[in-house]
Structure 1
C-alpha cells in the first residue's frame, strides 16, 4: 500500500534536514522503536526493533533500515526498511521517500511510503493502517518540532535510544482512535467467528468420516 503524509516544523530547512538524518535523535519520536546500532558510511545503515501492540497481542519486529539516497542539495532522502517478527512469520517492508522545502520561514516535509505488511497487523487493512499513519505523522511532527525548538531533554552520556530502557509498544488500536478501533475490533471478531465455524465444520467432517468407517 502507498501512504502520503505532509507536515511542517518551525525551523529552517537545513536544520530540519540534519535533524531527520540523526536517527538516534529522532528515535524517541517514533513509538515502539529502539535503535540498536548505527553504521555510517556511503549509506547509513541502522539496526533496531519495533514493537507493535494489536489488542492483547504484542508483535516485535527486528530488522534494518538503509539510507539509499541522501541528496543534501535537493533535501531529498530515501530510506528502505525491512524487518521480520521475532516470534512469528510476519514481515514488514517500507520504502520511505522524504523531501523538504522552505515554507513561511519553516520547513515543509513531504513523506511518501510504500508499505508491505504480512502477519497479524495486516488484518486491519489499508483504511486502519492509513489512519494510524496519519496520527503517527502528526505525533512525530509535534515531537520533532518540540525537540528542534527546545532541544532534547538532558540525558546521560549514552543516548536514550541506545540504552536498555525499552519504550512502550506502538498500540495500533489506541493510536487509530475509538471509531477506527471499533471497526478493527469488529473485523477481528468476524475473523475469529469464521475461524471458529471452520474448525467446527472440520470436526464434523472428521466425525462423519469416522462413523462411515465404523
Structure 2
C-alpha cells in the first residue's frame, strides 16, 4: 500500500535537513522505535507495536539509499521481522523537503508491505494510524527544533557564584510500545477491538470443537 503524509517544522530547510539525518536525535520522536546502531547510512533497531494485550516487536534495518542534499530528497529502505512470529514489514520511504515562509514542509511517501497479524487491520486502519503517528512525530520534532527561550541577563560579576559542573545527560529511556488503541483513537480502536473479538471467538470455537472430539 502507498501512504502520503505532509508536515511542517518551524526552521529553515537546511536545519530541517540536518535534523532529519540525525537519527539518534529524531528516533525518540517516533513512537515505539529504538535505535541500536547507526553508521551514517544503515540504521539497526526495533519497533514495538501493541494492540490491546498483544505486543509485536519488529527487529530490522533501514538503509539510506539516497541523500540528495541539493534536491533535499532522501530515500530510506526499511525491513523488519517479528521476533516472535512470521510477520514481516517492508517500506520504501521517500522524503522531500521544501522551504516555505521561513519554515520547512516535509512530504513523505511510503510504499508499505506488511504481513502477519497487523496486516489483518486493512489499509484504512493502517492509514489512520499512520496519520496519527506522523502527527506525533512532527509535533515532537518541531519542539526539538524550536529556538530556545532567550537567556536571562547575566548577573554582575561581583554577584556571580561559582557554578557546579553540568550533570551528565541521562540515558534515553527504553521506547514504549506503540499502542494502536491509544494512538488510533476511539473509532479505529473499536474496529481493532472488533477484529480482536472475532479472533477470540474463533479460538474459543476451535477449542470447543477439539474438546467435543476428545469427548
Q: Common fold, TM-score beyond 0.5? A: yes
- Aligned pair partner of 2:61 in 64, 73, 82: 64
Q: Report SS of the residue matched to 1:62.
A: strand
Q: Over residues 86-108 of structure 1, what are the superposed CA-to-partner deviations in whole Å (9 max), with x where a residue is unaligned? A: 11111111110000001111101
CA distance in 1, matches of 2:95, 2:168: 31
Query: Would you say how many aligned residue pairs link Structure 1 and Structure 2?
Result: 198
CA distance in 2, matches of 1:132, 1:126: 10
> Within 5 A, what are the aligned runs for 1:106-121?
106-121=103-118
> Higher helix fraction: Structure 1 or Structure 2?
1
CA distance in 2, matches of 1:155, 1:133: 37
When Rg is computed on C-alpha atoms for both structures, the one with the higher figure is 2
What is residue 51 of structure 1 aligned with on the other side?
48
Deviation at 1:202, TM superposition (A): 6.5
What is residue 180 of structure 1 aligned with on the other side?
188
What is residue 143 of structure 2 aligned with on the other side?
146
Deviation at 1:74, TM superposition (A): 0.5
Q: Report SS of the residue matched to 2:199.
A: helix
Does the 8 A contact of 1:24 with 1:159 survive in 2? no
Deviation at 1:128, TM superposition (A): 1.1
1:21 maps onto 2:21 in alignment: yes
Deviation at 1:192, TM superposition (A): 3.0
1:39 maps onto 2:47 in alignment: no
Q: Report SS of the residue matched to 1:80.
A: strand
CA distance in 1, matches of 2:109, 2:199: 31
CA distance in 2, matches of 1:156, 1:90: 40
Q: Is there any run of 5+ residues in structure 1 with no aligned partner, and where?
A: none
Deviation at 1:8, TM superposition (A): 0.6
Aligned-pair RMSD on alpha carbons?
A: 2.1
Q: Is there any run of 5+ residues in structure 2 with no aligned partner, and where?
A: 149-165
Deviation at 1:120, TM superposition (A): 1.8
CA distance in 1, matches of 2:174, 2:171: 13
1:191 maps onto 2:188 in alignment: no
More deviation, 75-84/194-203: 194-203
